Amino acid sequence: MGKKTREVNPEEKGVKYWFNEKLMPAMTKLASQKHLTAIRDAFGILTPIIIGGSISFLLGILIFGAGGNLETSLLGLLAKATNNVTVVINETTLAESWQLNGSWAVANEIGEKIFQTIFDYSMGTFSLMAAVMLGFIYAEKRGLKEPMFVAVFNLVLFLITAATFASSGKYFNYFYDSKGMLAAIIQTFLVIELYRFFANNKKLLIKMPKSVPPMVATGFSLLVPVALTLIIVSTINTGAWSIGKYTNWDINSTSGNLVLEGGAYGIVGLFYKAVSAPFMAIISGNNVGLGFGMLYQFLVGFFWFFGLNGSSVVNGAFYPFLLQMFVQNAQAVSEFGYNAANASNALGVVNIQFIESYSQTTGWGHTGALLIAIAIFGRVREQKDVAKLAAVPAVFSINEPVTFGIPIMLHPVYGIAAMIAMPLTTFVAWIFVGPLGWVNKSYIMVPWTLPPGIGALLSTGLDWRALLLSWFCLAIAFVWYIPFVLIANKYHYNLNLKAYIDQGMTKKEAIAAVANDNKIAKEQAIEKKELRKKLRLDNKQEKLRIKNLPNDERIKVIHEQRMFKKEQASILKLEENIKIISKADKTITVDVVEYGGYKIRINGKTVATALNDEKMKSMVIKIAKANNVSEYKIMDKGKEIEKIKIEE
């Protein structure tokens, strides 16, 4: 008996089938993977807290000289101007520093305390926040009841595993900041799955009588799963403590100083010592950090090329590390000051704020640079029209109009160019910030929607060179896009040519047809331009005419123009949705407006405006029928003039 062979449908062959039936479903599945989306959503929600903490740190720097910036702060400059500063010279380095005198020093201490406290408890508790938020979101995704309870329970479990024990037996928060973040993420997924296993076992649930209130019954029903999870996690944590204690595996700082001796930490400390710290040391290094950042940027562009939000897809895997790199910078500057932290190599170059400041200005792929290149060198009319509409959103890094309007998505020319543009500018910015050291490193997080250069300026503590570097990266992207725009011009020309040839034309006829299309398009563009010019001139002349009218007449004309605009808006609104009042007692009134026109109101609220009697009556009838009202009143200066019944 011969082996059966499956007949292959001709439609199942080729790139198009593979793309639509294989690649895109796989991409979509990856984009919705529950662990990655949970991380993405949790960190997205927490981002405003990080930005708030960063901005408070920036204000502390600018006003009170936090982070060793007294010489450039507002308070420091005012104290200097009033001779309340003592200049201290370091005998070893001969470096100068300022000390404030009297009440100025008190004001400095109070001001720094205000903003430093905000910074310490936003950046300094990020692992705790991640444990709560990720626990809540992942519990929802796994279908657990009471996800808020699970989030709090997950926080308790993290506090157990992140606890550190000094020789005195006291606890302190060494792993509450970004150092415990990776452990918090992994532990959250594991312990929630463990808890879910117990919670779904009906034999472990305590059943209470129906007379017991639901909230009390729910709490008691989960008692056994909670207790088992606590015991197991604490047992494993004790095992981790034993490894550190009996192997004398100490945790040291990057400078080699002892931070925690073996036996002073649990699971989170062991994970930090064995995995997190070595890995972060590798990817935070200048060279590897550059590769990590460039890979992130390439993958963002890669997924956007296929129409998926690249940042949303890859942030689950990359964002925690890029954010931790940023937090390390922010904490180092807060503790030592920028110059000291930078001198001790405590600051990394690449982090999430660095990427947003230099290689994602005007959106992914530097699409603002592409718009400028299309506006200058583009020959495709539709693309130039989109470029005009998308310019303003691009200033604020909103580039969906470009991605789907040009489009960049699935475009064989622009798509490839955009994928490479971000890694390219990441490398350029890295050279200036890293090896050359001409620009300060990023240590303050700001909103990603700021115009080009502003985010870079603020994120570096107002280093004006960062502003120039951000603009320079945008210029590099613009130059990069120029040849691709020229290639795209030829590509679209050939597409139009092929369309005519497919219709049965010869190549010569097709060339003539395309040339004619371009000629017509050019003539139409000129006509539109002339029309806009004429309209601007007419408006200018009309404004001048109205300006020269007598005062009463001018007021009346302006009033009519305004009423006409309101009338047109009312007509459109009534066509889409007529205002219906739910109250039983409804009264429709029509108020006569000075200088002409009417305002139609229901129970005193204006719902429409009309300029003449005909439009007013038409609107009133529509509104009255929709609200089941049989009459309306004409009012003038609060007095009833006439009551009119509406005919059926």
pLDDT digits (tens, 9 = 90+) for 374-384: 999 988 888 88
Looking at the DSSP assignment, which residues form a beta bridge with residue 590?
A: 600, 634
On the CB side of 133, CA atoms within 13 Å amount to 19
CA separation, residue 71 to residues 79, 86, 185, 332 (Å): 10, 11, 41, 19
- CA 135 – CA 317 distance, rounded (Å): 17
- pLDDT: which is higher, 446 or 173: 446
pLDDT digits (tens, 9 = 90+) for 596-606: 888 888 888 88
**What's residue 439's pLDDT?**
95
> Could you write out the DSSP letters of every residue in 276-331?
IHHHHHHHHSHHHHHHHHHHHHHHHHHHHHTTS-HHHHHHHHHHHHHHHHHHHHHH
Chain length of the chain: 648
Structure tokens that stand for 79 in this block: 């104290």
**What's residue 486's pLDDT?**
92
Q: How far is CA 611 from the centre of its chain?
A: 45
Provide, for the chain, the percentages of residues in helix, strand and coil under a 3-state DSSP scheme, each rounded to the nearest 5: 65, 5, 25
Task: Please compute the mean of the pLDDT values over residues 210-235 and round it to a whole number.
Answer: 78
Query: What does pTM read for this prediction?
Result: 0.72
Task: Please compute the mean of the pLDDT values over residues 440-458 and round it to a whole number.
Answer: 90
**What's residue 191's pLDDT?**
94
Nearest Cα to Cα of residue 571 among 602, 535, 611: 611
CB 602 within 8 A of CB 623: yes
Largest Cα–Cα distance in the chain?
A: 105
Residues whose CB is less than 8 angstroms from the CB of residue 66 and which lie 6 or more positions away in sequence, other chains included: 57, 60, 73, 112, 115, 116, 334
10 Å Cβ neighbour count for 597?
21
First to last CA, the chain: 84
pLDDT digits (tens, 9 = 90+) for 21-38: 666 677 667 667 888 888
Q: Rounded to 5 degrees, what are φ and ψ at 632?
A: -145, 160
Residue 170 has pLDDT above 50, yes or no: no
CB 300 within 8 A of CB 422: yes
User: Tokens 């590390």 correspond to what residue?
Assistant: 321
- Paired sense of beta strands 251-252 and 258-260, if any: antiparallel
CB 263 within 8 A of CB 165: yes
